Amino acid sequence: MMKEWKNLEEKLPETIFVRVYEGRMDLLRAVIIGPKGTPYHDGLFFFDVYFPSMFPFHLPVVRYHSGGFDINPHMFECGEVRLSLFRADFLPSRRLWQSYKTTVLELLVSIQDRVLNADPLFNQPVIQDFGPSVVAEYFSLLYNEDILIKSLKIMMHIMNKPLKHFEAFVVGHFRNRLSDILLACQAYSVGLQVGGSVGNKHRCCSIEFQHNVMSCIGQLLGCFERKIGVTKTDFVRALTGPMPPQNFQEFIQELQDEIALKTEAKRYKLFSLSLPSFVI
């Protein structure tokens, strides 16, 4: 396991963060930032990974903090994550984990790239049966619209109830992504298709989706104001121009120090390329 942790510390991409507990080498908690161009963009998705005693002969158990939402054919409302992706040619399923071949790093990157992707519905065998077609694209569009709304609700859930020891990280992330999230919601409310670029007027979404986004915006703004500390001035800047540059590392550290005074100290490590490793 120490080899796995060292690999994470050295190679983890800047959009995936991992905490390992010194007293429980069989546990890991990861947060993956939703990739741009997908219905998961700018969201935070938390996973707990348990490594059985027979690891790496036996695959790890991955659980997702769903907040009560199923947001992918391989991620269920109960928190289960299915570590296999089916192919349309009905060959045996290709697993996200292969004993003694796949590393923990590769598993997390695969979840980000192959599960939280731009067209998650196409991982379903039933949809794959259609092949490239207008029907398949239509179902994928509707599915992505539903997932985007759920992703917004998960954002609010995380802001309202951040996981323990991730409080500062959640605040820092959503302050840093405020402009991207609000501009995207504004574009969706006037017809931008999920995954499209802001300003692209040639890709459209459904009227129902536009209404659903508009109904979420007010709640989202309320969470930003109450839980993230965003002011009305920040909202205006986010929607009208770039926000002043921030040193994200220093900001996170300041928040972490503030929260540490209010919570019981725990020993854990944070491994990432964009934030330094440290122990509390």
Is 276 contained in some domain?
no
Number of domains in the chain: 1
pLDDT in tens, the chain (280 residues): 788 888 888 899 999 999 988 788 889 999 999 999 999 999 999 999 998 888 877 788 899 999 999 999 889 999 998 877 544 443 344 556 666 677 889 889 989 998 999 999 887 766 655 666 777 788 889 999 999 999 999 999 999 999 999 999 999 999 999 999 999 998 998 888 897 655 555 557 888 999 999 999 989 999 999 999 998 788 878 877 654 445 555 555 555 565 555 444 333 444 433 333 333 2
Q: Give pLDDT, residue 24.
A: 85
Q: What is the CATH number of the domain that holds 43?
A: 3.10.110.10
List the one residue out of 71, 34, 27, 65 whose CA is nearest residue 49.
27
List the one residue out of 187, 198, 158 whose CA is nearest residue 174.
158
Q: Give pLDDT, residue 123.
A: 75
Is 260 contained in some domain?
yes
Q: Does residue 19 sit in helix, strand or coil?
A: strand
Instruction: In whole angstroms, give the CA distance from residue 181 to residue 42.
Output: 7
Is 187 contained in some domain?
yes
Question: Number of C-alpha atoms within 13 angstroms, CB side, residue 99?
Answer: 7
Helix, strand, coil content of the chain in percent (nearest 5): 45, 15, 40
Q: Which domain holds residue 156?
A: 2-271
Predicted TM-score (pTM) of this structure: 0.80
DSSP 158-208: HHHSPPTT-HHHHHHHHHHTHHHHHHHHHHHHTTBPTTPPTT--S-B--HH
Is 279 contained in some domain?
no
Instruction: In whole angstroms, give the CA distance from residue 166 to residue 229.
Output: 16
Is 280 contained in some domain?
no
Is 16 contained in some domain?
yes
